[in-house]
Chains A and B, each alone.
Chain A
Amino acid sequence: MIRNWLFPIIIGLLAAALAWQGTLMATPYVLMSKAMEKVGGRAPVNSFGFGEPSTADNQPIVRPSPDLSYSSCAFDLSKGPVLVDVEPVPGHYWSVSVFDARTDVAAVRSDRETGGKPVKLALKRFSQRVPRDYEPVQLDYNKGLVLIRILVSDKADYPQIDAIRRKARCRVADTK
């Protein structure tokens, strides 16, 4: 009797294990896709969108910080490398993070490392060539998200911070 059920039980367990593994593997991509839709959707692909300060009525993503100013660029490297230029914000903590399609962090630069200089990153696939004056960041996927976070420790500083962050650029490199 048990022998008759053994094969279906093993197949069922294998199917469940495969489904579980599949879900685990797919989850980061699904989460990133949602984040790119919600956060990156503020602007066209390969350009920065500049989010308004987080409040109870403005929460595009879970666990937003009301003390940070968020700007984001959903990028796509299928048409060539993408260049990212970010201006420094003097006297404030700020950082630029590059997330790939699997939510892995490909690069982080903060004001501490840049020493007051602009950040110039070239997001690229293995075979793509980038301008020499940009720091190459190689990605395993075409799509991902660049996130700029700037600390707004005093709300009176926000207009000045907002003006500086809007100078950030994200664009496909002209490699012709």
Chain B
Amino acid sequence: MYFTARTDSEGAPLNGKCTYTVSGSELDARWWSITLYKGEGWLVKNAANLWSVAGNAPERDANGNWSFTVSPKKADGVWLPTGGTPQFDLTLRTYHPQGALLNNPSSAKLPTIKKELCA
């Protein structure tokens, strides 16, 4: 099951010149990943050759919450480069989703995308 975000949590289009914090809690699926695409759905060239963040990559806090950074420049921790593309989307892929995520996806608690700053 896939979910795609073209805007941040405030409704503004995702901009490759901005820095975002993507955060969430455990997703009820066997495995998940978040991939960054531009345009119709193309991976973006970037020096780090990183195009996705796997569900097991970000560290969890005591409550099982996680976060990573999406930005044009390298960030501390788990980082997903925008490659400076003007607009992009983030696609969450869940493999073998279960429970509410599978049966009521419109009300699933999905990750949030918070804009921090723009270049």
Q: Contact: B43 with A62, CB < 8 Å?
A: no
In the complex, chain B residues whose CB is within 8 Å of the CB of A63: 37, 40-42, 91
In the complex, chain B residues whose CB is within 8 Å of the CB of A54: 43, 51
**Number of interface residues, chain B, beta carbon within 8 A:** 22
Q: Contact: A56 with B31, CB < 8 Å?
A: no
In the complex, chain A residues whose CB is within 8 Å of the CB of B45: 56-57
- Kindly state the separation between the CA atoms of A64 and B2 in the bound complex, as whole angstroms: 13
Q: Contact: B41 with A66, CB < 8 Å?
A: no
Of residues 79 through 97 on chain B, the ones whose CB sits less than 8 Å from some CB of chain A are 83, 91, 93, 95-96
A97 shortest CB reach to chain B, Å:
13
For the complex of A and B, list the 10 residue pairs with the smallest distance between their C-beta atoms, beginning with the closest: A63-B41, A56-B45, A62-B41, A66-B51, A56-B43, A93-B95, A67-B33, A66-B52, A62-B40, A67-B52
Closest B residue to A61 using CB positions: B41
Q: Contact: B52 with A62, CB < 8 Å?
A: no
Q: Contact: B31 with A151, CB < 8 Å?
A: yes
Q: Contact: A65 with B35, CB < 8 Å?
A: yes
Q: Contact: A153 with B31, CB < 8 Å?
A: yes
Partner of A56 from B30, B44, B95 at Cβ < 8 Å: B44
Q: Contact: B33 with A56, CB < 8 Å?
A: no
Q: Which of B35, B42, B95, B96 has the most CB of A within 10 A?
A: B95
A163 shortest CB reach to chain B, Å:
22
Q: Contact: B96 with A55, CB < 8 Å?
A: no
Partner of B42 from A62, A65, A151 at Cβ < 8 Å: A62
Q: Contact: A59 with B42, CB < 8 Å?
A: yes
In the complex, chain A residues whose CB is within 8 Å of the CB of B78: none
Partner of A66 from B31, B43, B83 at Cβ < 8 Å: B43
Closest A residue to B56 using CB positions: A153
Of residues 11 through 60 on chain B, the ones whose CB sits less than 8 Å from some CB of chain A are 30-31, 33, 35, 37, 40-46, 49, 51-52, 54, 56
Q: Mask for A32-57, Cβ within 8 A of B = 1, else 0?
A: 00000000000000000000001111
